[in-house]
Structure 1
């Protein structure tokens, strides 16, 4: 039996979207920033994609950069707060400075806005490495003394997670149950 509630509309133009005008562009931008924590670059990319998909019916060209700047002035978009929150979340999950920096750069956050978040991540690097090691059962959290291949694999995992070489080496060299202190000299 056919389900009528899932049938397609009879009007073929009913699913087509109209091109955006200035009010429509602002409306979808507001909807985006109310639903997602975002950056200036992500908002500009989203609006650019919507303009490519739907087209522009306003006069001249769409002022995406002006709209994004206005939203930043109003506090709807805050790159520094986004960087701080994203860095704190990644650090709590056990990721290191290199991984956090790469994530912030991919989100389009400039160096000035990312600097405080990276400094906080740098201060918590040792704790983050231990969280990662505990989660992956590496070094002091391993169930048994690993062989050379397992240590190399664990070392590589710590490096991919963005941790410093000295931190990764220190954690991998620990035996099960021997949680080292932070002294990295």
Structure 2
């Protein structure tokens, strides 16, 4: 006998159109999402639980949620870009996150602009968090600099920006022409 008794769990009932709408509403109320992510979620639930009744396209349900204002891909993309940029991630990492969230190109353009405009400040934020270049206590040896450049490139920063920061000596903060400045990288900031 199992520790919880001999009772077996009954499988959840198959989904119908009303249940799919309830799942979609519950998902959008709990998570910031995109049409693509909601569509994937609904397809997975249909696969897991089965379907009963007339077929419904999960993409149509996601479009209806967007039409009602529950989902806004552009708003999601802009917020994701600002969040990742503040945390020190570069433009290519932001673009990867938007592709993964299935944000279409038209909705991703403003977010990519945000990430590109803050490239220098986000690279400095990443360097500060990882104690790289101007934020290190002592100059790094050549092998360590290569690892630091690789870490910055993996974080989505361009090679030239990464190299410029890594090769800066401790306390020698490079200047960037960003809309966001190093003043936003103070110790009390969550960067």
User: Normalising by the residue count of structure 2, what TM-score does the alignment of the two structures yield?
Assistant: 0.88
Q: Report deviation, 1:15.
A: 2.6
Whose helix proportion is higher, 1 or 2?
A: 1
Match of 1:29 in 2: 24
Match of 1:46 in 2: 41
Gaps of at least 5 residues in structure 2 are 179-191
Pick aligned residue for 1:149 from 143, 158, 175: 143
Q: 1:56–1:62: 8 Å Cα contact kept in structure 2?
A: no
Shift in Å, 1:7? 2.7
2:82 is aligned to 88
Q: Distance in 2 between matches of 1:135 and 1:99?
A: 17
CA distance in structure 1 between the aligned counterparts of 2:168 and 2:59, rounded to whole angstroms: 51
Q: Which runs of 5+ in 1 are unaligned?
A: 1-5
1:62 matched residue in structure 2: 56
- State the Cα deviation string for residues 109-155 of structure 1 (Å, max 9, x = none): 01110100110111110000000000001000111011000111111
Any idea what SS the aligned residue of 1:176 has?
coil
* TM-score normalised by length of structure 1: 0.91
**2:4 equivalent among 3, 7, 16:** 7
How many aligned residue pairs are there? 178
Q: 1:183 to 1:44 in 2, by over 3 A?
A: closer
Q: What's the C-alpha RMSD, in Å, of the aligned pairs? A: 1.8
Q: SS where residue 175 of structure 2 aligns?
A: coil
What residue is the counterpart of 1:120 in the other structure?
Answer: 114
Secondary structure class of the residue paired with 2:23: helix
Taking the aligned partners of 2:64 and 2:23, their CA distance within structure 1 comes to 15
Is 1:106 equivalent to 2:103 in the alignment? Answer: no
Runs of 4+ in 1 over 6 A off after TM superposition: none
